[in-house]
A and B are shown apart, each in its own frame.
Chain A
Amino acid sequence: MSPMARTAPVPAATDPAIIRNFCIIAHIDHGKSTLADRMLQYTGVVKSRDMKAQYLDRMDIERERGITIKSQAVRMPWELDGTSYALNMIDTPGHVDFTYEVSRSLAACEGAVLLVDAAQGIEAQTLANLYLAMENNLSIIPVLNKIDLPAAQPEKYAAELANLIGGDPEDVLRVSGKTGVGVEALLDKIVRDLPAPVGDPNAPARAMIFDSVYDTYRGVVTYVRVVDGMLHPRERIQMMSTRATHELLEIGVSSPEPTPSKGLGVGEVGYLITGVKDVRQSKVGDTVTNLAKPAAESLAGYADAKPMVFSGLYPLDGTDYPVLRDALEKLMLNDAALVYEPETSAALGFGFRVGFLGLLHLEITRERLEREYNLDLISTAPNVEYEVTLEDKRVIHVTNPSEYPTGKISEVREPMVSATILAPNEFVGAIMELCQSRRGIMGGMDYLSEDRVEIRYRLPLAEIVFDFFDILKSKTRGYGSLDWKADGEQVADLVKVDIMLQGEQVDAFSAITHRDKAYAYGVMMTGKLRELIPRQQFEVPIQAAIGSRIIARESIRAIRKDVLAKCYGGDITRKRKLLEKQKEGKKRMKMVGRVEVPQEAFIAALTTDESKDKAKK
């Protein structure tokens, strides 16, 4: 067993042969961040007294929800057989919404620790992340975690893992991120088994940007992995895609606090600060080179994260619109996956249509906006993006149902995903039934072990992105797991359902659904609104319609009494205060035609049951 390294290799003067770059990948909650904690502790970069659980989950929202949202890279020393090595470890998120974070991290590494919870076994993101790592030609170290748990079944899952990756179950390490058992052995194995980075130290510098983060104090902090050559402080660098040049104000490594260095050499992972204020000027996937001695060819980048679900975000108080605009601009600095554009809604006023990677991303973004910028927001029901071809061959991309064209439509295409579901084999029937009801086409089924199957389906994104996972969980008594990735599109029989209050269309409640589900949506929404909208001085019909055809209707009876008919003696003050309160309440109403709709009703109507409790997937 290795002791803590007595000396740490110095950045910019480290032989690539003693560098090991790896990330920890796993299904959500299998213990990546906890394992990272032990590594930080055993390598001495974080003192035991400074240690806290999931040390690298630094955002409030990460700590509250107990999940990792952003990847974090840390340089740690480790000694084996008398040699001090430099390890770069990247802790990655496990939730499917943040898969693109994982794929970026992989590009900075030669190896991956594939962690599997010894009480759960292989799950959908285990597979998804493993395949990603294999596509990137990484060496994989399979590890079973949480072996301290009484419910752990290390033999069974070691066999499953060996079966999946090839190799001997005996070779699967067993650790506990909680107790620390086996973690030192794992660090040794990382040094022994993972390849060292290779690159040309004398070639023009080339470094891959794998993350870019906005920091209020330091501006944009860019995380890079150097492939060839060397980067030094104070020199001018160039972004190869945009040709933009910057001065390198600071360069260094995270250990885990930022530590400036004399540079970064081949195989090293660290950060750059150039004074730019916008992460888009330091784009993830771009290659950094030296302006004086530029490289001829950039490194292969990766595709931008593509937004999958869209929702309108509106300030409850219309005067907060500029605050929301500034807040989105700032958040975007830190979240290249966020896209937005201004939109207006007749019912909700001025707001933004925002694209997200998934519902968790939506929820986290909304929560951060509300919390960090003190905003009260309404978010409209999320939807996917549709491609509508009109009869005149024009093509329109619709991210907001109210923009769905009313003219002659020749074809509508909807985004598709390929989904992988893992579950004990007893649930196969239930899962197939669910997927079929969601218009899925089965792609295949494999046994991962005697009792665990992997089922592949091609499904419309709109069918799985909202409530599918919750239903899957309940149909598999919590054992099923889901992963999905974008997979083209298909022509579908889609319609727009409009909701009308007293004949007046309420754009915020429109939805695009499959024709078979339009009726259910109409009934659900009109019913909900009938409960939520207070009675008015006149009867208010609520209708759901496809075009001019009404498919569901409800009605709110007119209020008949709104008067305090009691003798309050001379206490006029009390009566007036009551009236002032009612007047105040009226101000917080949104007018739809003549109908006064309280904001709470909008929020409640737009809060799909699906969007609650989405914290964990």
Chain B
Amino acid sequence: MPSVLPLGDPAPADGILPPQVLDGVDSRKFGLYVHIPFCAVRCGYCDFNTYTATELGGGASQDAYASTAISEVEFAVRAMEASGLPQRPLSTVFFGGGTPTLLPAEDLARILTAAVGHWGLEPGAEVTTEANPDSVTPESLQLLADAGFTRISFGMQSAVPHVLKVLDRTHTPSRVPLVVQWARDAGLAVSLDLIYGTPGESMADWQTSLETALSYGPDHISAYALIVEEGTKLAAQIRRGEVPGIDDDDHAAKYELADQLISAAGLDWYEVSNWSRTPEQACKHNLAYWRGDDWWGIGPGAHSHMGGVRWWNVKHPTAYANRLGSGVSPAAGRETLDAGTREVERIMLEARLGTGLQVDALDKVGRHAVAGLIADGLVEPGAAFQGRLVLTLKGRLLADAVVRRILPD
């Protein structure tokens, strides 16, 4: 079951943005997110905005999806121009889902080509797609690389069959080294997504998953703690006692193990849940989210941000297509952040980064909290003395608590 959208203000039909988005636009990068809302099956833990063919009642919308998405690209070009925003080349593009690779690679390529045709690409731009291990072939990967994709992120999740089973994953562990090799052969940088803390996963299971993932030599790893989202099948199973619940202490221990093994393999953390082999191989698109850059989100339920204005599209693919079909913005709601809220978001997001947060940009409450955070072992003393608040391992595990302590009252 997809999660609910935030409540916000109504968004205008023409997609025109308020003048504040022009302030400082030259210092912000511009990215594109493309949401592909389809999956072969829905995993029991997942509340992303995605739909199986059965849920949609037929494959028709999947076939037409690329065209619909391209019509939003065109809408975005017009709306940004009408809002007075300068034309900026894309510095990152990210296809996420759902399962982008459930669409024919040609469709993904078509969308990318349309976007690049309108906006252009910065030299060295990062172009990523998410993929499920069982939805790619050597040919499809080659096609993506040829179309301009530079990077692929595989949803590996675990290397242990019984864990994959609880997660409802359809792929077998042996598929992962194959697809990693094919991606490499096509010239794509490779990232692997892992999930820890699945009910029934032992510490040894997690270690196996980590070691297996690392043995494939990925350029990047994301390790996410399993979150039991309301309304998912997993939540119901736990409530009914069919699978054991989630234990925070287990999560903490598994995060520590992840950090230890991944670091030992030569990757460094640059965000609470993300590690990369070199700083250049960090996911630039995700960093743009954390740093408050601009991006346009294409697709149902996709979120966008430009200069303190956030908006989000209607969730259902049919409603989304209908809006665009009649030339109306697919946005369901938006919010224009005031200076205080932008500050809260900045602190909340930047605190999670390896590069940290500028201490003297905090208010009095926040600056006063720093000494206590050092004393509690939550931030790096060395970095703090140089004016940056960088989380320690313990601090990363308590990142939300740290943020609450440094936020203005």
Partner of A582 from B35, B248, B344, B400 at Cβ < 8 Å: B400
- The answer to whether A572 and B249 touch across the interface, beta carbons within 8 angstroms, is no
Given A572-B303, A576-B344, decide whether A537 and B227 contact each other with a Cβ distance below 8 A.
no
Cβ contact within 8 Å between B376 and A579: no
Given A565-B224, A569-B96, A573-B310, check contact A560 B252 (CB 8 Å). yes
- Interface residue A564 (Cβ < 8 Å from any Cβ of B): yes
A563 to chain B, nearest CB (A): 4
CB distance from A222 to the nearest CB of B (A): 53
The count of chain B contact residues (Cβ–Cβ below 8 Å) is: 48
Q: Does A562 contact B (CB under 8 A)?
A: yes
- Among A538, A563, A572, A573, max chain B CB count under 10 A is at A563
Residue of chain A at shortest CB distance from B295: A570
Do B6 and A577 touch across chains, with their CB atoms under 8 A apart?
Answer: yes
Contacts of A560 in B (CB 8 A): 248-249, 252-253, 397-398
CB-CB < 8 A to B154: which residues of A?
A: none
Min distance, Cβ A21 to any Cβ of chain B, angstroms? 65
Is B397 touching A570 in the complex (CB atoms < 8 A)? no
Q: Is there an interface contact between B303 and A573, defined as CB atoms closer than 8 Å?
A: yes
Contacts A569-B96, A570-B304, A573-B335 given; does A564 touch B404 at CB 8 Å: no
B330 at the interface (CB under 8 A from A): no
Verify B6–A582 contact, CB threshold 8 A: no
- Does more than half of chain B's interface fall in helix, strand or loop, or is it mixed? mixed
Interface string of B374-388 (1 = CB under 8 A from A): 001010000000000
State the CA gap A570–B224 with chains docked (Å): 16
Complex CA distance for A299 and B334, rounded to whole angstroms = 78
Mark each residue of chain B from 221 to 256: 1 if its CB lies under 8 Å from any CB of chain A, else 0: 011110100000000000000000000110111010
Pick from B297, B341, B400, B407: contact of A562, CB under 8 Å:
B400
Q: Which residues of B contact A397 (CB under 8 A)?
A: none
A562 touches B401 (CB 8 A): yes
Distance between Cα atoms of A562 and B401 in the complex (Å): 6
Closest to B391 in A: A563
Instruction: Say yes or no: is A561 at the interface (Cβ < 8 Å to chain B).
Output: yes
- Contact flag A571-B303 (CB < 8 Å), given A561-B251, A561-B252: yes
A582 to B401, alpha carbons, bound, how many Å? 9
Identify the closest chain A residue to B345 (Cβ).
Answer: A576
**What is the 8 Å Cβ interface bit string for chain B, positions 294-322, against chain A (1 contact, 0 not)?**
01010000111100001010000000000
Cβ B33 vs Cβ A561 within 8 A: no
Please state if B304 and A572 are interface contacts (CB–CB under 8 Å): no
Q: Could you say which of B48, B255, B345, B349 contacts A565, with CB atoms under 8 Å apart?
A: B255
Determine whether B396 belongs to the interface, using a CB cutoff of 8 Å to chain A.
yes
CB-nearest residue of chain B to A580: B344
Interface residues of B in 187-236 (CB under 8 A from A): 193, 222-225, 227
The complex places the Cα of A443 from the Cα of B36 at a distance, in Å, of 85
Q: In the complex, what residues of B have CB within 8 A of residue A570's CB?
A: 33, 289, 295, 297, 302-305
Shortest Cβ distance from A208 into chain B, in angstroms? 60
Nearest-CB distance from A555 to chain B (Å)? Answer: 15
Question: In the bound complex, what is the Cα–Cα distance between A561 and B33 (angstroms)?
Answer: 30
Please measure, in the bound complex, the distance between the C-alpha atom of A577 and the C-alpha atom of B335, giving whole angstroms: 12
Residue of A563, A573, A579, A586 touching B396 (CB-CB under 8 A)? A563
A567-B224 in contact (CB<8A):
yes
Residue pair B401, A565 in contact (C-beta under 8 Å)? no
CB distance from B247 to the nearest CB of A (A): 9
Query: In whole angstroms, how far apart are the Cα atoms of A403 and B204 in the complex?
Result: 55
A566 within 8 A of B: yes
The answer to whether the Cβ of B331 comes within 8 Å of any Cβ in the partner chain is: no
Q: Which residues of B contact A569 (CB under 8 A)?
A: 33, 35, 48, 96, 289, 302-303
Does the CB pair A537–B376 fall under 8 Å?
yes
| A537-B376, A572-B289, A579-B400 as given contacts; A566 in contact with B348, CB under 8 Å | no
User: Cα distance A572–B341 when bound, in Å?
Assistant: 12
B376 near A538: Cβ-Cβ < 8 Å:
yes
Q: Report the Cα distance A569→B303, complex, angstroms.
A: 8
Complex CA–CA separation, A575 to B286 (angstroms): 15
Q: A567-B222, A575-B348 are in contact. Are A561 and B248 (CB under 8 A)?
A: yes
A565 to chain B, nearest CB (A): 4
A90 to B398, CA, bound (A): 66
Question: 17 extra interchain contacts, Cβ-Cβ under 8 A, other than A564-B227, A570-B295?
Answer: A559-B248, A559-B401, A560-B253, A562-B401, A563-B272, A563-B400, A566-B224, A567-B224, A569-B33, A569-B289, A571-B312, A572-B289, A572-B345, A573-B303, A576-B345, A577-B6, A582-B404
Q: What is the interface of chain B, defined by CB distance below 8 A to chain A?
A: 3, 6, 8, 33, 35, 48, 96, 193, 222-225, 227, 248-249, 251-253, 255, 272-273, 286, 289, 295, 297, 302-305, 310, 312, 335, 341, 344-345, 348-349, 376, 378, 396-401, 403-404, 407
A-B contact pairs, 11 of them (CB 8 A): A560-B248, A560-B249, A560-B398, A561-B252, A561-B255, A563-B400, A569-B289, A572-B303, A572-B310, A579-B344, A579-B404
Q: Which 7 A-B pairs have the closest CB atoms?
A: A560-B252, A570-B303, A563-B399, A561-B252, A573-B6, A562-B401, A561-B248
